[in-house]
Structure 1
Amino acid sequence: MSEPDPSAILAIASGYGVSKALLSAVGLGLHTRLAAGPMTCQQITAAFGLQVRPTRDFLDLLVSVDMLAREGDGPEALYGNTPATARFLDRGQPEYIGGLAEIWELRDYRFWADLTEALRSGQPQNEAKHAGTPFFEAMYRERERLEAFMNAMNGSSLRNFQALAKAFPFGSYATLTDIGGADALLCREVAAVHPGIHCVSFDLPPVTPIADRRIASAGLGERIQAVSGDFFADPWPPAQLITMGMILHDWNLERKQTLIRKAYDALPEGGALIAIEAFIDDARRHNTFGLFMSLMMLIEFGDAFDFTAAQFCQWCSAAGFSRFETIPLDGPSSAVVAYKDPRC
């Protein structure tokens, strides 16, 4: 048996710096600038107002983890995008996922410094701690910040929603209500693939004008409606399908169960609830991103958490759902479908 190697420990322990370098690059818009062509270190420092000596370390650190490509060595070396960063970190690309990294750069990264305190107290470490402002109030009170939040959520959800639109037989249903639909991204992706379905994106009033604008821009105004409401306090628009994309993990157990019961009561027989989440694997050993997101919920909300598909099915069974299906999506995420099946 070989001796234990500390290299993995060191790699993870120093990972905060690597992560922050990438977040800084995304926040600067470095990959977007490099879409126009490779640049030298000197050109990059001039473009972004940086200092040459540390910037070379910054760029080469990103090269070492394949977040930048480099041609040549020394001062004349050219830095450019890799195929992956060109596709996913250039703001001009339709598959841009950097909105989530931008939010992490602007606010979340700093709150993680208080993770140990969160583990001891069980309390959020965000604006609620520092200014007494709950998460959604902080996000929704300014139009510019709300738009940035919508873009961030889109970056993390787009590929999942595209995959779900192709994998699930939405064409067998006439109506869909997306709970917490934000700017109607899920509705737009489903409606674009399935021309027979009519969708409602249901979210708080400040979101509705953003959703209306993006629905109109997609040319889907005849089949998607943005409806304002509080999904805890108000009745839900009726539909054969109810979807929740990264919604349930925002809440504690009691509120999760409330939303599931409301879905069951709102659905007709033969209807279904579809939850899209980074479901933690049932053994809680492998889905690193899902476990990371669960701690993110601690940082943001205190008593909120991510969960396994088995837990979700258990809560749904208690509400009356009788049959379940799992659909793998992008990377660590999946969708679990809970059917209100009259045959069971």
Structure 2
Amino acid sequence: MDKVFKSPQAPSTVVNADKIFQVATGFFASKTLLTATNLGLFALLAKGPLPAREIQEKLGLHSRGLFDFLDALTSLGFLERSGLKETAIYQNAPDVDTFLNPNNPHQYMGNVLEMVNNRLYPFWNYLEDALKSGKPQNEYRETGKPIFEALVSSPEKLRKFISAMRGAQLGNFHSFVEKFDFSRYKTLCDVGGASGVLAMLVATKHPHMKCTTWDIPEVSQLAREYLREMKMKNKVAVKEGDFFTDSFPNADIIVMGNILHDWDLDQKKALIRKAFNALPKGGAFVVIENILDNERKENTFGLLMSLNMLIECEGGFDFTEAEFKEWTREAGFRYTDLLPLGGPSSAAIAYKLDE
């Protein structure tokens, strides 16, 4: 009798549409959080718990949707509630009370959420256009100007952007200041330092460090205001320059926080070379960003941030640890390391070793 051969059965796989649907409607939750921030709900509740009807009155909300809005935020974990509907009392969840409370300036992230809502959310509607054209889809659509040129031409937009970037990086900077070994170094320069918050945190935590924040004049003025407000103007130096036309200030540590990903490959390499030239032997070049895993599979947020660079910048993109190592080796650095900071962010570090 002839043998009957059967194809091996593929292992059964359970499939469902949950992930597809959750991601497709992910903006429901995102927009609810962003709207609550824009309305000032969390700032209001930072003063203390309130009944729903008082929240309605103080924020000027309509009764329709009121409880759905507040209870959705409760279900998402951003609010806590006792009672139900007319008897409900709402208060901020602990993490919200820490990071979305404007009375906590060292940790406040509300400014970046406002920027995400008011700037990025509309621009992402043009992702398809960006993928087809390769061109930015932000203010560039109307002005034809690159993002930073457009921001500098509007003092109000620039101020809001710098404030948002401070909120976006605060957690990463706090983590870096705690985890990095500063004992071997004496000076630090934050290139493209925006409001100067990283230099301020380093100077506060490690008083032996002499810290400088360095940016274009329009941004440096905002840094002076912020440092004066934080009573740090005498502990952090503010210097002005353009990192494409000027040499970097010399320092033992050169830091760039969310700078390299704004630029194309040639510009990235040019900035890395300038950092190498500004460092002494034994110095460290630190890049704080959403460094991608080498297989480009795990850091989902980093990959989405790279798409955001497509929307925001003419040539920007995020990069892997291996790419950082390749580019810094090409510039003359001989050793690199990666310091995880929490979530998708890391500090990629290149050391200029003694010869």
Runs of 4+ in 1 over 4 A off after TM superposition: none
Q: Structure 1 CA distance, aligned partners of 2:47 and 2:251?
A: 46
Cα offset, 1:276, TM superposition: 0.5
CA 1:220–1:90: 2 relative to 1, 3 Å? closer
1:142 aligns with 2:149: no
What secondary structure is seen at the aligned counterpart in 1 of 2:118?
helix
Q: 1:91 aligns with which of 97, 102, 108?
A: 102
Aligned to 1:101: 113
Aligned to 1:37: 48
1:239 aligns with 2:239: no
Assess if the C-alpha contact under 8 Å between 2:189 and 2:212 holds in 1: yes
Q: Structure 2 CA distance, aligned partners of 1:44 and 1:74?
A: 12
What secondary structure is seen at the aligned counterpart in 2 of 1:234?
coil
Q: Structure 2 CA distance, aligned partners of 1:330 and 1:239?
A: 26
CA 1:84–1:222: 2 relative to 1, 3 Å? closer
Assess if the C-alpha contact under 8 Å between 1:118 and 1:302 holds in 2: no
Q: Structure 2 CA distance, aligned partners of 1:133 and 1:258?
A: 22
Deviations 1:210-249 (A, max 9, x none): 2123333444444421111111001211112111011101
Aligned to 1:200: 212
1:158 aligns with 2:180: no
Q: Structure 1 CA distance, aligned partners of 2:49 and 2:73?
A: 14
Deviations 1:298-341 (A, max 9, x none): 11014211111111111101111001121111321110110111
1:292 aligns with 2:311: no
Cα offset, 1:255, TM superposition: 0.6
Q: Structure 1 CA distance, aligned partners of 2:112 and 2:233?
A: 27
- 82-91 or 50-59: bigger deviation: 50-59
Cα offset, 1:134, TM superposition: 2.2
Q: How many residues align?
A: 343
The one-letter amino acid paired with 1:147 is R
Q: Structure 2 CA distance, aligned partners of 1:248 and 1:70?
A: 43
Q: Structure 2 CA distance, aligned partners of 1:130 and 1:143?
A: 18
What secondary structure is seen at the aligned counterpart in 2 of 1:190?
helix
Cα offset, 1:2, TM superposition: 5.3
Q: Structure 1 CA distance, aligned partners of 2:107 and 2:283?
A: 31
Q: Structure 1 CA distance, aligned partners of 2:150 and 2:107?
A: 27
CA 1:316–1:158: 2 relative to 1, 3 Å? same
What secondary structure is seen at the aligned counterpart in 2 of 1:335?
strand
What does 1:302-341 align with in structure 2 at a 5 Å threshold?
302-341=314-353
Aligned to 1:225: 237
Q: 1:23 aligns with which of 18, 31, 34?
A: 34
Cα offset, 1:172, TM superposition: 1.7
Cα offset, 1:47, TM superposition: 1.2
Assess if the C-alpha contact under 8 Å between 1:289 and 1:332 holds in 2: yes
Assess if the C-alpha contact under 8 Å between 1:238 and 1:266 holds in 2: yes
Q: 2:20 aligns with which of 9, 22, 37?
A: 9
The one-letter amino acid paired with 1:24 is T
CA 1:75–1:223: 2 relative to 1, 3 Å? closer
The one-letter amino acid paired with 2:354 is P
- The percent identity for this pair of structures is 43
Q: Structure 1 CA distance, aligned partners of 2:196 and 2:243?
A: 15
What secondary structure is seen at the aligned counterpart in 1 of 2:242?
coil
What does 1:94-133 align with in structure 2 at a 5 Å threshold?
94-133=106-145
Aligned to 1:177: 189
Aligned to 1:264: 276
The one-letter amino acid paired with 2:246 is D
Q: 2:63 aligns with which of 15, 38, 52?
A: 52
Assess if the C-alpha contact under 8 Å between 1:41 and 1:52 holds in 2: no
Assess if the C-alpha contact under 8 Å between 1:215 and 1:221 holds in 2: yes
Q: Structure 2 CA distance, aligned partners of 1:170 and 1:220?
A: 20
What secondary structure is seen at the aligned counterpart in 1 of 2:87?
coil
Q: Structure 1 CA distance, aligned partners of 2:175 and 2:33?
A: 26
Cα offset, 1:283, TM superposition: 1.5
Aligned to 2:200: 188
Cα offset, 1:83, TM superposition: 1.1
What secondary structure is seen at the aligned counterpart in 2 of 1:52?
coil
Assess if the C-alpha contact under 8 Å between 1:41 and 1:79 holds in 2: yes
